[in-house]
């Protein structure tokens, strides 16, 4: 067995020059004072063995990492969602672009940019009796943790400056690609982004994708093998904003980032790895986090390529 603890210890030493660099997501007031020198990394094998380094106990808002979870709930119940309401291609533009959305007649390029996530949330709103309650229940179930919750201070903070998101959802409403009240869709979206986890809990939550759609702890199937494959493919091609080519080139794993500084990545059938460092690069991905994942797949030799 590979010595994963030794590997991540080595990575922790090598990424030190990057800590404190990059910019936190200061356009969200509640995230503006995050310490960009923080770093955590957790590797969790499917047999339960767990290895960690850094600020592993610290919770942070998962932000856009939640988009994978909302998409999971939707494609379980709505087979044609990615055929009719949202695309499957990399965006090549910033995650909050209005230009691309208008050019493509209100159909988002993929479910992991903001417009795509808002359409996903709208579909989730249609599928659930109580979206706020039912989505949180789903996340708690797949993570086997009933303490996971929304951070209402963060969701309110995002809502207070969410003018671009409001523009996106209203534009899609004009193109008949939003079915529910825009204010309710936005509220649900901000709630899901505000969910807080630490790196180990993120690994617990995403293990079903590592395990081909089945929760490894309970044996319960969350989604089909085919749907798990498709979500992982979307994470590889669309999961790190308009830096997906660079991240795939450097890291070589399905991954999803969030502007809270977290990134989750998957080696199918083997392990889940989560990193967190709030200092972001110009594309909105964790500067130290991407480097840590690049080093991890090099040293552990477990890229999917």
Q: Mean pLDDT, the chain, as a whole number?
A: 96
Containing structural domain, residue 134 = 66-193
Q: What is the pTM of this model?
A: 0.97
Same domain flag for 96 and 159: yes
The CATH number of residue 41's host domain is: 3.40.710.10
Select from 172, 193, 214 the last residue of a domain: 193
Per-residue pLDDT reduced to its tens digit, 116-165: 999 999 999 999 999 999 999 999 999 999 999 999 999 999 999 999 99
Residue written as token pair 């094998």: 45
Interval 33-71: pLDDT, tens? 899 999 999 999 999 999 999 999 999 999 999 999 999
Q: 34-43 burial string, b = 16+ CB within 10 Å, else e?
A: bebebbbbbb
The domain boundary, picked from 193, 223, 238, lies at: 193
Residue 305 belongs to some domain of the structure? no
- In this structure, are 74 and 186 located in the same domain? yes
Work out the pLDDT band at 201, boundaries 50, 70, 90.
very high
Question: 1-45, pLDDT tens digit by residue?
Answer: 799 999 999 999 999 999 999 999 999 999 998 999 999 999 999
Number of domains observed in the structure of the chain? 2
**What pLDDT is recorded for position 77?**
84
Considering the domain boundaries, does residue 277 fall inside one? Answer: yes
């Amino acid at each position: 067995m590979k010595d994963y603890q030794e590997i991540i210890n080595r990575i922790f030493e090598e990424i030190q020059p990057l800590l404190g660099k990059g910019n936190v997501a200061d356009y969200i007031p509640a995230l503006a004072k995050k310490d960009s020198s923080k770093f955590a990394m957790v590797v969790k094998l499917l047999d339960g063995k767990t290895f960690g380094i850094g600020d592993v106990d610290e919770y942070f808002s998962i932000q856009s990492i939640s988009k994978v979870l909302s998409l999971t709930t939707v494609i379980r119940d709505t087979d044609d969602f990615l055929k009719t309401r949202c695309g499957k291609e990399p965006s090549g533009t910033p995650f909050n672009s209005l230009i691309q959305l208008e050019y493509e007649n209100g159909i988002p390029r993929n479910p992991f940019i903001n417009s795509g996530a808002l359409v996903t949330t709208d579909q989730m709103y249609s599928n659930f009796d109580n979206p706020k309650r039912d989505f949180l229940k789903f996340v708690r179930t797949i993570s086997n943790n009933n303490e996971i919750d929304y951070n209402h201070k963060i969701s309110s903070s995002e809502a207070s400056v969410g003018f671009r998101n409001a523009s996106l959802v209203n534009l899609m409403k004009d193109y008949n690609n939003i079915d529910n009240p825009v204010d309710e869709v936005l509220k649900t979206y901000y709630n899901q982004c505000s969910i807080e986890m630490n790196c180990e809990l993120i690994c617990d939550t995403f293990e079903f994708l590592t395990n081909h759609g089945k929760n490894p702890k309970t044996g319960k199937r969350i989604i089909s093998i085919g749907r798990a494959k498709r979500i992982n493919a979307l994470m590889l091609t669309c999961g790190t904003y308009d830096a997906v080519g660079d991240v795939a080139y450097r890291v070589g794993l399905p991954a999803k980032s969030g502007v809270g500084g977290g990134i989750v990545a998957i080696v199918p059938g083997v392990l889940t790895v989560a990193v967190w460092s709030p200092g972001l690069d110009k594309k909105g991905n964790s500067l130290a986090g991407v480097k840590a994942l690049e080093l991890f797949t090099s040293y552990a030799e477990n890229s999917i390529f």
